[in-house]
Amino acid sequence: MRLLHHEFRAMGSPCELKLYGPAGDTLNPVAEAGIREVRRLERKYSRYREDSLLSAINRSAGDPQGIEVDPETAGLLDFAETCFQQSEGLFDITSGVLRQVWDFRSGRLPTREAVDAVRRRIGWERVRWERPRLVLPERDMELDLGGLVKEYAVDRCAERCRALGVQHGLVDLGGDLAAIGPHPDGQPWIVGIRDPRRPREALASVPVGQACVASSGDYERFMIVDGVRYGHILDPRTGWPVAGLAGVSVIAPLCLIAGTASTIAMLKGERSGTAWLDSLGLANLRITQSGVVSGTLVSGLSGRCGSGGRLDPRS
């Protein structure tokens, strides 16, 4: 069998497909179909495109009639509502407006007054969602599906490749992964889990045959001010970065589930997030900001701490 390795960029991230199939050019149309599906979702839900559906939804804010959405979008909104409920309001797709006051490239903290002013525009409980009609009641409210769409795109791309006959392959969109199936010899893919404090290094390596892996952490966008680290995952109730966990990785049947589970755990913090992950029964690895590593994937640690315990910052 031939292995096709195709790299591309989408959703602001480096992406790649690794697909096995018969010799010849049969895999190229499959890869192209998978990439088209990713780009379709990017066009549809990008907040940076004026012609996207998400931009149309946000332009409808303040209109008492709201906007009708298609079944695919309705499914994502239903899922977002479930996440909001299960996270006790922490996973809130109206909270993206906080990016207007948090600039992690500036090295400067926003004022509490600025954060509080934006925070008043947040609250999924204020949105009227009666499928298929969505009403954002106030003109300055917005939806941001950034916590859902990339993971959903992983699932859709994997599903598209599988429907076109691929049984062995890997979809990777900026570190969110779906293993379509193991290598043809039955060996699993070995997936590295990023070290939150050494992003170029793997904290753990885990075997994945047919499942999805997603991670959340305070390492992608952050700033350090007066010795304190402020990550980009923000609590919608306070408008300020969450603390406690530095990184969470989850394995689940769907990348959408893995991604939202890891994000909700980060939002809940060390104690509540850990207990919540354990209650889900999903394989996971978490590391606190003080370096304590735990979770069901601890056995995959790459030797820098034993079976659990504290990561040695000098190693």
| Residue keyed to tokens 């292995």 | 3
Q: Do domains 2-36+148-310 and 53-135 have the same CATH topology?
A: no
Query: Which one, of 141, 144, 87, 89, lies nearest residue 119 by Cα?
Result: 141
User: Residue 183 has what pLDDT?
Assistant: 97
pLDDT score of 133: 98
CATH class of 53-135: mainly alpha
Report the DSSP pairing between strands 67-68 and 309-310: unpaired
Predicted local confidence at residue 26, as pLDDT = 86
Residue 133 DSSP class: E
**78 φ, ψ to 5°?**
-60, -45
The confidence score (pLDDT) of residue 302 equals: 55
Distance of alpha carbon 255 from alpha carbon 266, whole angstroms: 17
CATH superfamily, with its number, for domain 2-36+148-310: ApbE-like domains (3.10.520.10)
What 3-state DSSP class applies to 188? coil
**What gap in Å lies between CA 236 and CA 292, rounded to an integer?**
26
Report pLDDT for 309.
37
Hey, where are the domains in the chain?
2-36+148-310, 53-135
E strand or H helix that includes residue 68: strand 67-68
Residue whose pair of structure tokens reads 């076109």 in the numeric block: 164
265, 277 Cβ separation under 8 angstroms: yes
Q: What is the pLDDT along the chain (315 residues), one digit of tens a residue?
A: 899 999 999 999 999 999 999 876 789 999 999 999 999 999 999 999 999 999 999 999 999 999 999 999 999 999 999 999 999 999 999 999 999 999 999 999 999 999 999 999 999 999 999 999 999 999 999 999 999 999 999 999 999 999 999 999 999 999 999 999 999 999 999 999 988 888 778 888 999 999 999 999 988 889 999 999 999 999 999 999 999 999 999 999 999 999 999 999 999 999 999 999 989 999 999 999 988 999 999 876 654 433 333 333 222
| Phi and psi, residue 58, nearest 5° | -70, -30
Q: How many residues are there in the chain?
A: 315
| In the block, residue with structure tokens 């999924």 | 124
Spell 95-117 as b/e; 16+ CB within 10 A means b.
Answer: bbbbbebbeeeeeebbeeeebee
